[in-house]
Structure 1
Amino acid sequence: MRLRSVSLGVVASLLVVIAVAVSARSFAAPSAVPAWLQAHVGDSDGQISQIVLERARALYRKKVAQGAVKNPCYFAMDATRPSDLGNGVLGRRYYVICEASQSFSAISSGHGSGRNLKGVVDFSNGKRCAKNFGNAMDSSLTAGGAYMTSEAKTSFKGYYRTGAKQDAVFQRTFIQFDGEGEAANARQRAIGGHAAQVLHGMCLRKNPNSSHADHDGFVPFGKLVDYAGGRSNGCTSWSPADAKRIIPMVKD
């Protein structure tokens, strides 16, 4: 399923707006953008498009007026921009905006990989750019729209090798997004934000002394992979370093 919309978002609850196209969507009329923030508007890497900023600010101000948001910051993501600029350089298209402190920063973020149903339809996305968007279940696609961050859940994923005969526990925090409109099924799809890290080549190892062992004394074990330059199953993914900054902003 392909959607053409712009997503805007807010913090802690944070608003997250994910832009995937310019469509006639009705948010409250934006107030004048202050000069310090207007200086970050543009089409170059690390800048934010005017339409994305206006819709993010409009949604944020609307939620603040409703009493749904008290956090002084909000987020926006422009999924129409490239994720990979080439030569290992990642595009900065995820924005953290805190107007009270006049703070603006742009970081990299992943998009949904989509799927190639061979012989039926190919709605997969490459690493560089996303051309397909949607909210269908099991599509592994990013859906544009308005989101609010919800609960944070840290879960055990398994063990990985850190040195000679030395293993470490891998736990990853997931921030649930609650979407609105076309993105209203975000919770059912388990769409949210997390660090771009995963364990590959999973197997089971005997470790009966581990608190994570199953009833037979086995624990999952794999290779820790950082896929900040890759794609997700539809979630917003950040580099591990950026995730350490973003996640505390939305807790509590």
Structure 2
Amino acid sequence: MNSPLINWQSVETTEKRTMASQLEARIRQDIINGQLAPGIRLRLKELAEAYAVGVIPLREALSRLASSGFVSAADQKGFSVGRISAAEISDITAVRLHVESKALADSINHGDVEWESRVIAAHHRLDRLSIVEGPERLLKPEWENAHENFHQALISSCNSPTLLRLCSSLRDQTARYRFLSMHYAESSHRDVPHEHRQLMDAALAKDIGKACELLSRHYQTTTDSVLKHALLNEV
């Protein structure tokens, strides 16, 4: 019996997409942690050498990051790291408070035993990870992933796919600001793990009003910390 023919062109395309996905995650993390500063030009040749990759997957990774606001793309000017501003974080937070509170309320209302298990498991992992590392107080990727999974678990029983997509997009756009907030959390004596425990307890108790209030306070505190401590450009 003859073996099926291998479509090598398809295999090569898949490998390039995989490389671009991995590269996208690496660059995204470097932007979040401030290794790639807001507004700087991203020159393909220099970046390809720094990440030891080819220009094609690099261009694809940057194009993907441009769709979520981490990177800006302009005709004839190439790519640059997206700028951050007080106006932007204030606007994103206002929208996020409205959208995610709706998703959380719906999720709690429809949450079952499986939902409760997801929330508890996600919080268990998050609660056991340190937030920052090193003298530069860089946000740990493991904590960032666990944090995203916890908030995703809270709204995972929401019946609206549109709301969930909006929540995911807004969460992505606030990632860099969250790093800035956590960088200054120690000086402001903020107890982030306690905030998460309170939020989990209210959600599991099916107290929609309290859970939404705690969620809003949690996000607003992050924004207020950034606006108080960080030097943002008005754009």
TM-score range, shorter chain: under 0.3
What is the TM-score with the length of structure 1 in the denominator? 0.24
- Per chain length, whose mean CA-contact separation is higher, i.e. which structure has more relative contact order (CA < 8 Å, sep 6+)? 2
- Structure label with greater radius of gyration: 2
What is the TM-score with the length of structure 2 in the denominator? 0.26
